[in-house]
Amino acid sequence: MRVSRSERTANYVILLAFALFAIIPILTILQAALGPSDSAGSGIGNQGATSFVGLHFANFTEAWQVGHFGSYMRMSFIVSASVVVVSVGLSILSGFAFGTMRFRGSTALFYLFLLGIMMPSEAIVVPLYFDLRSLGLTDTVWAVVLPQVAQSVAFGTFWMRAYFRSSSTSLIEAARLDGASNRRILWQVLVPLARPAVVTLTVLVFMWTWNEFLIPLVMVTDESLRTAPLGLAFFQGQYTQGFTLLAAGAVIVATPVVALYLVLQRHFIAGMLEGAVRE
């Protein structure tokens, strides 16, 4: 395709403008987090002394201590790891059944799972809170993990089913003719081949769980059980002397998912585009 030079230049200008637009709010936070502390009476001890080429990394240490981000991050890692492991495991099993087997009621059951992909948390969080409270389960890790497993399993079933359906049926048939058990077909033939699909599912579920706000907000009042985004929201409410430490906290909270994104961005983008509810 032949494109004139001026059009080409214009394209680069547009490209650059939008890239800047997308990244400036993120850079604002990063710049504030690395800048000199703007809060009046705080951090006198580590001002200046620990700045490295003008970047104040000490802000992160201070935010970590002042904002209790150590506890929040640990909780987020526990919650995310549990949700990822359980929901990916269950989704592989259910996706295998939907994708490779014929059974009565499979279509109806599958639509039932699809329902969960679009269902807003707002609808279920109210009854969940009151029912879990009467079971004495609010203010526990369970109350944060299990509802999110249910949501992720809905998407995961859909995702793994699509993969298993497209994977070679002749391979499965051959394995069956050879007398391999279903379990063997799944774990020794299909799952090794499905690694890219499983990795995509894993990073998506990790991101959704890490960034989830409403469920932990409702289910947990105990400070030691707050997840990282929740901790950040409370930190913003309580800590009002300046922006530096808040920005540092925001960077801490965003870093795990952003770092994973920079390494596995293909999986993130492909997953979010293909995973867009499509039958």
Partner 1 sequence: MEQAARARARFAARVGTGTGTGRDVGPPGEPRRIAYLYLLPAFVVYAAFLLYPLLRAVQISFYDWDGLTLGRWIGFDNYREVLTDEGLRSAFGHALVLMVFFAIIPTVVGLLLASVLNRAKVRGLSFFRTVVFLPQVVAMVVVAVAWRRIYAPDGSLNALLSAVGLDSVTRGWLGDYDFALPVVGFVGSWFEIGLVTVLLLAGMGRINGELYEAARLDGAGPVREFFAVTLPSVRGEIAVALTLTVIAALRTFDLVYVTTRGGPGNSTSVPSYEVYHRAFELGRVGSAAAIGVSLTIVIFVISFAITRIGDRGTS
Residues 75-134 that bind partner 1 (CB under 8 A): 86, 90-91, 93-94, 96-98, 101-104, 106, 109, 112-113, 115-116, 118-131
Pick between residue 55 and residue 117 the one whose CB is nearest to partner 1.
Answer: 117
Long-range contacts, stretch 250-253, CB < 8 angstroms, 24+ apart: 250/29, 250/33, 251/29, 251/30, 251/33, 251/60, 252/60, 252/63, 252/64, 252/69, 252/73, 252/228, 253/69, 253/72, 253/73, 253/228, 253/229
Residue range at the interface with partner 1 (CB under 8 A); choices 39-47, 48-56, 65-73, 246-254: 246-254
Number of Cβ within 10 Å of residue 165's Cβ equals 12
According to DSSP, the residues that pair with 55 across neighbouring strands are 52
Residues 56-75 that bind partner 1 (CB under 8 A): none
User: At its nearest, how many Å lie between partner 1 and the CB of residue 182?
Assistant: 6
Pick between residue 141 and residue 233 the one whose CB is nearest to partner 1.
Answer: 233
Residues 151 and 83 sit within 8 Å (Cβ to Cβ): no
Encoded tokens for 32: 């504030």
Is 28 among the residues that bind partner 1 (CB under 8 A)? yes
Is 233 among the residues that bind partner 1 (CB under 8 A)? yes
User: At its nearest, how many Å lie between partner 1 and the CB of residue 97?
Assistant: 4
Pick between residue 55 and residue 180 the one whose CB is nearest to partner 1.
Answer: 180
Is 137 among the residues that bind partner 1 (CB under 8 A)? no
User: At its nearest, how many Å lie between partner 1 and the CB of residue 45?
Assistant: 26
Largest CA distance in the chain: 75
Is 214 among the residues that bind partner 1 (CB under 8 A)? yes
Residue range at the interface with partner 1 (CB under 8 A); choices 44-52, 61-69, 167-175, 194-202: 167-175
**Best CA proximity match to 180, nearest among 167, 171, 192:** 171
What's the Cα-to-Cα distance from 11 to each of 4, 21, 22, 24, rounded to whole Å? 11, 15, 17, 20
Is 198 among the residues that bind partner 1 (CB under 8 A)? no
Is 40 among the residues that bind partner 1 (CB under 8 A)? no
Is 157 among the residues that bind partner 1 (CB under 8 A)? yes
Is 38 among the residues that bind partner 1 (CB under 8 A)? no
User: At its nearest, how many Å lie between partner 1 and the CB of residue 200?
Assistant: 14
**Best CA proximity match to 113, nearest among 98, 128, 131:** 98
Select the residue interacting with partner 1 from 47, 65, 166, 188 (CB under 8 A): 188
Pick between residue 12 and residue 52 the one whose CB is nearest to partner 1.
Answer: 12
φ, ψ of residue 228 to 5 degrees: the values are -60, -50
What H or E segment, with its residue span, contains residue 171?
A: helix 169-177
